[in-house]
Amino acid sequence: MKKIIIAALALAGLLFSSCDRTGNFEVFEKEIPWNFCVKVSTDEAHLKVVSGATVQIFKSEEDRDAQKNVFLTKTTDANGEALFTLAEFDPQNKGGEFVKGVYYLRVAKGSDVKTENTRYLLMNSGTTYHYIIFE
């Protein structure tokens, strides 16, 4: 019985104690540039990359399917990557919240064409990758 009372008091002490959040926080010297990268390959390990593929980004599924009003376009490099920057997504410099959302991709090389939606674009520092696999 004594062990139960001690355990109950210890638990009550934990429940009513506060967490001290006044410690030092890491401060970043500079912001890491935000990018969106489409990587095209022919295998799930993304080792057999496809260079020279055209990557088009649209703001609506209807535009993508009709292949009109292309928002951004690039060609994949030797690593199979097409890298888009925040400045390209946001030429009017309205901020990350303005460009956040779903975009519609069309990737083509020769007779191979793949269409997909981006799930979302991360607006944190760093690069968000979207992988396209030509089968």
CATH of 33-133, one of 3.30.110.30, 2.60.120.10, 2.60.40.1730, 2.60.40.10: 2.60.40.10
User: 31-46 as b/e, with b when 16 or more CB fall inside 10 Å?
Assistant: eeebbbbbbbbeeeeb
Pairwise CA distance, residues 74 & 9, whole Å: 64
Say which amino acid occupies 89.
F
Give domain limits for the chain.
Answer: 33-133
Pairwise CA distance, residues 23 & 11, whole Å: 25
pLDDT in tens, 84-95: 998 898 889 887
Supply the pTM of this predicted model. 0.73
Residues 114-127 have a mean pLDDT of: 78
pLDDT in tens, 2-15: 667 766 666 666 55
